[in-house]
């Protein structure tokens, strides 16, 4: 597994050596602080978590777009792919590197925890579970983004498709009511109704953001943890398959 | 077969397998969730009672919560309703900001914040006073409010899903206000609220039948203007004697013939008009703002500091009852400066010690009597649902509530906008009426759930501190980040 | 050592590499020569494990790269046509990274990096960002990367393309030097480059092997020699080759890839102007062998060289 670590190390270095990471972080915290600090009334991280989760959805595509697309565009993938490194190690290293940057952003949001800790008496339980939720959510977004990045050599295309897919996985919940309405109109056919019902229950659980809110409240539910872990592993697996299909 | 196509097939099978495993893992996890609440006060954990009620839900229940988006109550209620819907797939909810969707609020008769529970045709409203309890420390400090929403919501769900729907019968034929009417002296506003509380509201005319129909869980007499015929008084007496429930709103200077009947139950209705120079509304001492006496009916109003404004009232005082086991309590009282003026024609009212009732004057009273067990008669009316409760709780039978004013729940005083209501006082008028009917109909909460504190933890910082934090977080930290980036970039560029 | 067996690769409807087979022997420097778009890069990418073949296999000492890619790649060094360099890394850190992912043991990474930098002559730019070094240096760093793990086989795709004449000479000398110690497969569309550095040449045209020959054989053919493809069945191994070589006027008999079990294929080269078809037919008939094929090479080598020369002229015009 040390191969994954070498890839990770290389990517982290290149991420933190490029101005992009710092520009993203500076803009991120300028905006989030502007929206949060003036209106902070309660010694709770909930407002911050909600905002950071929303902003991560917008930011993550920019952090993940480089991961493979840039290698493809510059031809450096020929080095990686012809080295004695498995696709799994490659993908794991790339994913962890993106997570390091996402982790840095999440860690920097500790400034808000510091504020509520100094000026109030917060309930630290939900604050901790909220951070766990943020990490899992950003992991899901990262794996999705890394996958999208492996599909193209164009970074903008990678970012746009990652954002689009994430958005789709967020609003998918809204499609449920449409399917429900459709199911209600199928009163005649039992089979069609069953299909619509099954689809509805899949849609109900597919939303990538729906599994996050319980963490914010202070609840850790194995369902959500398994959802995120399965989500992350599945997309990393897709990415590895994608690389394997390109080479020996 | 060519090597390439073999690889493709392997890849497809592997991908299919991986997707299958992921879905299976999720499915298994979703079926056997392990859930742990890390909040200090267990705010996200429903009581076992609620869970049991929700697990056995047979019909779909929908909740529409009307709260200001982003407010603390809104987020608390959204959290708990989400827990409800998590336990039962039959429970759904929607958060609605009444300011943003006033039509929706009007449709469900919501004039204030609250939650409307809907199951099929049936509805039940849960208001703010049911969800939050504010208790006051007599020594000045304010205790944190308590959240009793879970009890209120779960009882609403029970009430909606129980097959039984109680009927309230309003007597007509003696110039009473119309419970469905929209005139100023009618009661359409509170009538609608009663329907919202899952009651069947109907009117009865005793001139034909000369008796109270058996379906009536309680009867209401709202401001009669004429004498009741003797046979009707007999019918009401008969009804009350057999464990009936009745609400009387009686205006001053109207003789109805009900007075002796009420006296039997320990309620004396004075032939007077109450004047309270101590506390009244606006510039009209004939519009007293009475003090609320502790009682099941008034407790929620007391807790939430609501007041009641009357308009031209007569005294209604508890006296000794001629019947056994009847307990009569006063509900509303004037200040000690008030009195019951018996000279109804005088232009200059003044307290007359010999004729007038001395303050504080009671303007409303409630009587209650425990019934003797009458197993045979009861058995006939009962359905399966009520059987269990008959064994456990002592059967409370007759209940009577009398107010010496019929105007306070009328449309002209109730169906006003919130802000005008505040100016006019009488913010609790509708609640007093609703709580009275609920008490009469025996609509107490079926289950009791321990209230939890509202976990609001304020940030204590001065405006100046906030200002400096704003500058640090909005400008300083991003600036440090940006300059670190610039520094690294410049340093590396020259290599 | 490295064997390419019947490798085929399609891009959409286009057949980029079509049933290519040849062997690379230990210690030799083999040139893969062909005009542009002959399938050289595709073939090398397949050999390096960057692309999967649609059919056929690449074997290193009998080990299939499709089945054990990691083990094979550990022993291969590959320099793509465009050197795979990270612009935001320094030369040294880049080579250390290459050493890491190519499985050089931790303790020898730094010394390996120093050694390859010394050999490729990039030690003087070790601390500079790759973004800021010249094209010749970039090519050398690419070469250094391919050598970092001391691979058994070096696959170099057009290592001198786009360099100025001085740089070309430097790189050629470097490759020549490497060929003393390493097994090298080098591709080029320039005849002189291959002849300058390689022992043997595979000529690729339109995805097929047009000829496999030594420098001398190639020179002979260039002088106007002729080649026949002969396939016989029923001969004992080696017997047929011996017999054909004994014909006066035949210069060489090279075994060509087999088609079916029990038969043998040869490329027979003859003196200029001599038609060996008659004598070969009689020889076979007299020995009782079945002659399955007897043909002049279908692609005239002439044509390939005309193309090559045209390419060469075009590139020197640039």
Residue B473: which residues within 8 A CB-CB, separation 6 or more? A29, A33, A36, A37, A111, A112, A115
Contact list in B for residue C51 (CB cut-off 8 A) is none
Decide if B459 touches A, using CB distance below 8 A. yes
Is the same domain home to C79 and C114? Answer: yes
Residue B495 falls within a domain, yes or no?
A: no
pLDDT of the residue at B280: 81
- φ, ψ at C107 (rounded to 5°): -70, -20
Is the same domain home to C151 and C265? Answer: no
Residue B478 falls within a domain, yes or no?
A: yes
Is the same domain home to B193 and B260? Answer: yes
Average pLDDT of chain B to the nearest whole number: 82
Q: Is residue B377 pLDDT above 50, yes or no?
A: no
Is the same domain home to C54 and C182? Answer: yes
Average pLDDT of chain C to the nearest whole number: 84
Contact A75 C84 (CB under 8 A): yes
Q: Is residue B382 pLDDT above 60, yes or no?
A: no
Number of domains in chain B: 4
Which residues 143-182 on chain A approach chain B with CB closer than 8 angstroms?
none
pLDDT of the residue at B135: 60
> Considering CB atoms only, which of B3, B492, B493 is closest to C55?
B3
Is the same domain home to B238 and B261? Answer: yes
Is the same domain home to C147 and C70? Answer: yes
Is the same domain home to C55 and C153? Answer: yes
Residue B97 falls within a domain, yes or no?
A: yes
Is the same domain home to C253 and C164? Answer: no
Q: Which residue in chain C has the smallest CA separation from B492?
A: C129
pLDDT of the residue at C188: 87
Which residues 411-450 on chain B approach chain A with CB closer than 8 angstroms?
none
Contact C101 A84 (CB under 8 A): yes
Please give the structure tokens belonging to residue A97: 């590197």
Number of domains in chain C: 2
CA angle (A203, A207, A210) in 5-degree steps: 125
pLDDT of the residue at B492: 80
Highest mean predicted confidence (pLDDT) among B147-161, C250-264, C296-310: B147-161
Decide if A119 touches B, using CB distance below 8 A. yes
Print burial letters for A64-96: b (CB count within 10 Å at least 16), e (below 16): bbbbbbbbbebebbbbbbbbbbbbbbbbbbbbb
Contact B3 C127 (CB under 8 A): no
Residue B166: which residues within 8 A CB-CB, separation 6 or more? B198, B199, B200, B217, B218, B441, B443
- The pLDDT tens digits for C173-220 are 888 888 888 899 999 888 778 877 888 888 888 888 877 877 667 666
Which is nearest to C1 in space by CA: C172, C205, C151?
C151
> Considering CB atoms only, which of B32, B33, B457 is closest to A120?
B457
Is the same domain home to B292 and B219? Answer: yes
Residue B233 falls within a domain, yes or no?
A: yes
pLDDT of the residue at B59: 85
B254 burial via Cβ count (<10 Å: 0-12, 13-18, 19+): middle
Is the same domain home to B263 and B328? Answer: yes
Highest mean predicted confidence (pLDDT) among B59-63, C210-214, C291-295: B59-63
Average pLDDT of span B367-375: 67
Contact C86 A10 (CB under 8 A): yes
Is the same domain home to B155 and B193? Answer: no
Average pLDDT of span C98-113: 94
Decide if B450 touches C, using CB distance below 8 A. no
Is the same domain home to B189 and B151? Answer: no
Is the same domain home to C42 and C87? Answer: yes
Average pLDDT of chain A to the nearest whole number: 90
> Where residue C311 falls among pLDDT bands split at 50, 70, 90?
low
> Considering CB atoms only, which of B23, B474, B485 is closest to A30?
B474
Q: Which residue, among C49, C55, C89, C90, would best test binding to B if mutated, counting the most B CBs under 10 Å from its CB?
A: C55
Is the same domain home to B87 and B4? Answer: no
Taking the C-alpha atoms of residue A117 and residue A45, their distance in angstroms, rounded to an integer, is 10
Residue C128 falls within a domain, yes or no?
A: yes
Residue B276 falls within a domain, yes or no?
A: yes
Residue C309 falls within a domain, yes or no?
A: no
Q: What percent of chain A has pLDDT over 90?
A: 67
Average pLDDT of span B418-422: 52
Residue A227, SS3 per DSSP:
helix
Is the same domain home to B195 and B144? Answer: no
Q: Is residue B389 pLDDT above 50, yes or no?
A: no
Q: Is residue A118 pLDDT above 70, yes or no?
A: yes
- For residue A183, what are the CA distances in angstroms to A168, A177, A189, A192, A207? 21, 10, 10, 8, 20
Decide if A82 touches B, using CB distance below 8 A. no
Contact C84 A78 (CB under 8 A): yes
Taking the C-alpha atoms of residue A198 and residue A185, their distance in angstroms, rounded to an integer, is 15
Q: Is residue C314 pLDDT above 70, yes or no?
A: no
Average pLDDT of span B470-488: 93
Tell me which chains share at least 3 CB pairs under 8 Å with chain A: B, C
Which residues 385-414 on chain B approach chain C with CB closer than 8 angstroms?
none
Lowest mean pLDDT among B67-81, B209-223, B316-330, B438-452: B438-452
Q: Which residue in chain A has the smallest CA separation from C85?
A: A76
Is the same domain home to C159 and C233? Answer: no
Lowest mean pLDDT among B103-107, B137-141, C37-41: B137-141
Taking the C-alpha atoms of residue B181 and residue B190, their distance in angstroms, rounded to an integer, is 10
pLDDT of the residue at B3: 57
Is the same domain home to C54 and C203? Answer: yes
> What is the DSSP-derived secondary structure letter of residue C123?
G
pLDDT of the residue at C239: 82
Average pLDDT of span C215-239: 73
Which CATH number goes with the domain that contains C256? 3.30.70.3190
Average pLDDT of span A8-20: 90
Contact C53 B2 (CB under 8 A): no
Residue B176 falls within a domain, yes or no?
A: no
Contact A219 B465 (CB under 8 A): no
pLDDT of the residue at C161: 81
Q: Is residue C318 pLDDT above 60, yes or no?
A: no
Residue C318 falls within a domain, yes or no?
A: no
> Considering CB atoms only, which of B2, B3, B495 is closest to C128?
B495
Decide if C3 touches B, using CB distance below 8 A. no
Is the same domain home to B280 and B396? Answer: yes
Average pLDDT of span B117-132: 83
Residue C218 falls within a domain, yes or no?
A: no
Q: Which residue in chain C has the smallest CA separation from B8?
A: C54
> Where residue A68 falls among pLDDT bands split at 50, 70, 90?
very high
Decide if B458 touches A, using CB distance below 8 A. yes
- The pLDDT tens digits for A159-173 are 999 999 999 988 887
Which CATH number goes with the domain that contains B149? 3.40.30.10
Cis bond before residue B360 (omega within 30° of 0) = yes
Q: Is residue B371 pLDDT above 70, yes or no?
A: no
Give start and end residues of each alpha helix (H) in chain A.
2-17, 19-36, 46-64, 66-74, 77-81, 87-108, 110-119, 124-149, 155-185, 190-206, 213-217, 222-246
Is the same domain home to B78 and B18? Answer: no
Which CATH number goes with the domain that contains C158? 3.40.50.300
> Considering CB atoms only, which of A83, A245, A247 is closest to C101?
A83
> Considering CB atoms only, which of A83, A247, A248 is closest to C102?
A83
Q: Which residue, among A36, A122, A226, A236, would best test binding to B if mutated, counting the most B CBs under 10 Å from its CB?
A: A226
- The pLDDT tens digits for A174-226 are 777 777 777 666 666 677 777 777 777 777 777 888 899 889 889 999 999 99
| Better pLDDT: B4 or A158 | A158
Taking the C-alpha atoms of residue B290 and residue C66, their distance in angstroms, rounded to an integer, is 93
Residue B206 falls within a domain, yes or no?
A: yes
> Considering CB atoms only, which of B30, B458, B486 is closest to A120?
B458
Contact B4 C52 (CB under 8 A): yes
Is the same domain home to C177 and C243? Answer: no
Taking the C-alpha atoms of residue C124 and residue C113, their distance in angstroms, rounded to an integer, is 13
Is the same domain home to B153 and B260? Answer: no
Is the same domain home to C157 and C230? Answer: no
> Considering CB atoms only, which of C46, C50, C97 is closest to A6?
C97
Residue B439 falls within a domain, yes or no?
A: no
- For residue A157, the distance in angstroms to the closest alpha carbon of chain B comes to 24
Decide if A21 touches B, using CB distance below 8 A. yes
pLDDT of the residue at C43: 94
> Where residue C268 falls among pLDDT bands split at 50, 70, 90?
confident
- The pLDDT tens digits for B290-321 are 999 998 888 877 876 778 888 889 999 999 87
Structural domain containing residue C252: 224-302
- The pLDDT tens digits for C35-68 are 878 889 999 999 999 999 888 999 999 899 988 8
Q: Is residue B76 pLDDT above 50, yes or no?
A: yes
Is the same domain home to B222 and B349? Answer: yes
How many residues in total does chain C contain?
A: 318
Is the same domain home to C134 and C267? Answer: no
pLDDT of the residue at A111: 93
Q: Which residue in chain B has the smallest CA separation from C125?
A: B495
Q: What is the DSSP string of C78-117?
A: EE-SS----TTSBHHHHHHHHHHHTT--GGGHHHHHHHHH
Q: What percent of chain B has pLDDT over 90?
A: 24
Average pLDDT of span B372-387: 45
Structural domain containing residue B331: 182-372+391-425
């Amino acid at each position: 597994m040390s191969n994954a670590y070498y890839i990770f190390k290389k990517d982290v270095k290149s991420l933190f050596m490029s101005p992009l990471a710092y520009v993203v972080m500076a803009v991120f915290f300028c905006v989030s602080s502007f929206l949060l600090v003036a209106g902070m009334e309660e010694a709770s991280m909930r407002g911050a978590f909600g905002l950071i989760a929303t902003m991560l959805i917008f930011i993550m595509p920019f952090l993940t777009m480089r991961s493979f697309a840039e290698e493809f565009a510059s031809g450096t993938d020929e080095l990686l792919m012809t080295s004695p490194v498995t696709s799994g190690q490659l993908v794991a290293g790339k994913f962890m590197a993106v997570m390091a940057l996402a982790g840095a952003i999440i860690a920097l949001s500790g400034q808000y925890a510091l504020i509520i800790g100094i000026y109030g008496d917060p309930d630290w339980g939900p604050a901790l579970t909220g951070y766990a939720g943020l990490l899992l959510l950003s992991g899901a977004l990262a794996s999705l983004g890394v996958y999208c990045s492996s599909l193209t050599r164009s970074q903008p295309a990678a970012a746009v498709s990652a954002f689009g897919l994430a958005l789709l996985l967020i609003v998918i919940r809204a499609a449920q009511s449409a399917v429900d309405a459709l199911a209600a109109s199928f009163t005649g056919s039992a089979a069609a109704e069953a299909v619509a019902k099954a689809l509805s229950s899949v849609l109900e659980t597919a939303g990538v953001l729906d599994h996050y809110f319980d963490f914010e409240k202070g609840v850790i539910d194995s369902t959500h943890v398994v959802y995120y872990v399965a989500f992350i592993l599945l997309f990393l697996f897709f990415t590895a398959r994608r690389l394997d299909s390109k080479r020996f | 077969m060519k090597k390439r196509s073999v690889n493709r097939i392997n890849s497809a099978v592997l991908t299919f397998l991986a997707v299958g495993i992921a879905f299976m893992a999720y499915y298994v996890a979703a079926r056997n969730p392990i859930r742990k609440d890390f909040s200090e006060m267990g705010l996200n954990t429903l009581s076992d009672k609620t869970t049991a009620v929700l697990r056995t839900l047979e019909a779909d229940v929908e909740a529409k919560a009307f709260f200001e988006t982003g407010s603390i109550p809104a987020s608390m209620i959204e959290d708990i309703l989400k827990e409800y819907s998590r336990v039962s797939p039959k429970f759904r909810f929607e958060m609605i900001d009444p300011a943003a969707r006033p039509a929706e609020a009007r449709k469900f008769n919501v004039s204030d914040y609250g939650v409307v529970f809907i199951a099929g045709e049936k509805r039940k409203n849960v208001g703010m006073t049911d969800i939050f309890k504010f208790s006051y420390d007599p020594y000045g400090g304010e205790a944190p409010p308590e959240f009793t929403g879970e009890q209120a919501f779960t009882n609403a769900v029970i009430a909606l899903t129980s097959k039984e729907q109680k009927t309230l019968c309003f007597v007509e034929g003696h110039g009473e206000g119309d419970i469905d009417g929209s005139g100023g002296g009618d009661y359409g506003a509170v009538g609608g609220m009663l329907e919202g509380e899952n009651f069947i509201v109907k009117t009865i005319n005793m001139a034909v039948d000369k008796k109270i129909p058996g379906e009536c869980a309680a009867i209401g007499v709202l401001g009669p203007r004429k004498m009741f015929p003797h046979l009707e008084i007999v019918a009401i007496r008969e009804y009350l004697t057999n464990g009936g429930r009745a609400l009387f709103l009686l205006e001053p200077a109207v003789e109805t013939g009900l007075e002796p009947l009420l006296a039997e139950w320990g309620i004396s209705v004075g032939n007077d008009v109450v004047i309270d120079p101590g506390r009244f509304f606006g510039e009209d001492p004939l519009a007293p703002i009475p003090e609320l006496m502790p009682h099941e009916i008034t407790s929620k109003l007391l807790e939430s500091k609501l007041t009641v404004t009357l308009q031209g009232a007569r005294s209604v005082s508890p006296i000794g009852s001629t019947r056994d086991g009847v307990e009569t309590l006063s509900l509303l009282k004037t200040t000690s400066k008030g009195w019951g003026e018996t000279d109804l024609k005088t232009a200059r009212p003044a307290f007359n010690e010999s004729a007038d009732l001395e303050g504080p004057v009671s303007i409303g009273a409630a009587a209650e009597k425990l019934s003797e067990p009458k197993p045979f008669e009861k058995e006939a009316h009962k359905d399966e649902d009520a059987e269990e409760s008959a064994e456990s709780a002592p059967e409370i039978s007759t209940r009577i509530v009398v107010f010496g004013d019929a105007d306070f729940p009328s449309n002209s005083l109730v169906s006003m906008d919130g802000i005008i209501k505040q100016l006019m006082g009488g913010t609790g008028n509708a609640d007093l009426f609703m709580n009275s009917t609920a008490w009469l109909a025996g609509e107490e909460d079926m289950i009791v759930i321990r209230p939890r504190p509202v976990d609001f933890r304020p940030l204590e910082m001065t405006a100046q501190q906030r200002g400096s934090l704003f500058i640090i977080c909005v400008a300083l930290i991003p600036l440090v980040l940006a300059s670190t980036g610039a520094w690294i970039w410049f340093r590396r560029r020259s290599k | 050592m490295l064997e390419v067996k019947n490798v085929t690769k399609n891009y959409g409807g286009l057949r980029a590499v079509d049933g290519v087979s040849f062997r690379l022997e230990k210690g030799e420097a083999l040139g893969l020569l062909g005009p542009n778009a002959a399938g050289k890069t595709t073939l090398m990418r397949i050999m390096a494990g960057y692309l999967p073949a649609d059919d056929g296999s690449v074997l290193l000492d009998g080990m299939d790269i499709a089945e054990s890619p990691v083990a094979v790649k550990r022993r291969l060094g590959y320099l793509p046509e465009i050197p795979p360099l990270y612009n935001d890394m320094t030369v040294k850190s880049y080579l250390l990274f290459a050493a890491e992912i190519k499985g050089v043991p931790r303790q020898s990474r730094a010394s390996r990096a120093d050694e390859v930098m010394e050999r490729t002559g990039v030690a003087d730019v070790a601390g500079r960002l790759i973004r800021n070094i010249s094209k010749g240096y970039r090519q050398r760093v690419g070469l250094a990367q391919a050598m970092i793990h001391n691979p058994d086989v070096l696959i170099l795709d057009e290592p001198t393309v786009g360099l100025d004449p001085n740089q070309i000479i430097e790189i050629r000398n470097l490759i020549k030097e490497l060929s003393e110690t390493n097994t090298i497969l080098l591709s080029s569309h320039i005849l002189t480059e291959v002849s300058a550095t390689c022992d043997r040449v595979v000529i690729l045209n339109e995805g097929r092997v047009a000829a496999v020959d030594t420098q001398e054989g190639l020179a002979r053919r260039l002088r106007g020699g002729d080649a026949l493809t002969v396939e016989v069945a029923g001969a004992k191994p080696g017997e047929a080759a011996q017999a054909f070589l004994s014909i006066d006027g035949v210069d060489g008999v090279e075994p060509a890839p087999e088609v079916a079990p029990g038969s043998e294929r040869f490329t027979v080269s003859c003196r200029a102007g001599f038609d060996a078809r008659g004598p070969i037919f009689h020889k076979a008939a007299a020995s009782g062998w079945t002659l399955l094929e007897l043909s002049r090479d279908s692609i005239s080598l002439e044509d390939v060289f005309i193309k090559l020369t045209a390419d060469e002229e075009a590139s020197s015009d640039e």
